[in-house]
Amino acid sequence: MIILDASAAAALLLRQPASEAIVRAIAEEEIAAPELMAVELLSVLRGWVRSGQLSEPRAREALEDLELLGLRWYAERPLLRMAWSFRDNASAYDAVYLALAEVLGERSRSASVLTLDARLARAFPERTLHPV
């Protein structure tokens, strides 16, 4: 099971250089995300459009393509207690991804957060995949 974070989702949806490695990492895997990932992605795309790094039509297309990924979405509230346990080494947002990996990892053989955030990957190597 792969939990896709917003950094990896943005790279995948915008076909950035890391997208090939992400496609390989999620091949034949079930992919999931906390619902907050969609809001984080929206924020990233908005920032890139406002700064001129991305066109508005391309951002809209990426948001539409998000639905085509076939992610299993999970609510955050049930994850908050577990997320709190990561407070010393992860942001609240990252902690939710890690908590989801922890919970889903208990149900299946393994679950990892796929991220382009090198700091997060270094802090939690046992629960993350860093494809680049």
pLDDT, tens only, 17-35? 999 999 999 998 999 999 9
Q: What would the pLDDT profile of 81-113 be if each residue is shown by its tens digit?
A: 999 999 999 999 999 999 999 999 887 778 999
The CATH number given to whatever domain includes residue 72 is 3.40.50.1010
Count of residues making up the chain: 132
Q: What pLDDT is stored for residue 106 in this prediction?
A: 83
Tally of domains within the chain: 1
3-state DSSP call for residue 12? helix
Residue span of the structural domain in which 91 resides = 2-129
Does 65 show up as a binding residue in the annotation? no
3-state DSSP call for residue 60? helix
Q: What pLDDT is stored for residue 99 in this prediction?
A: 97
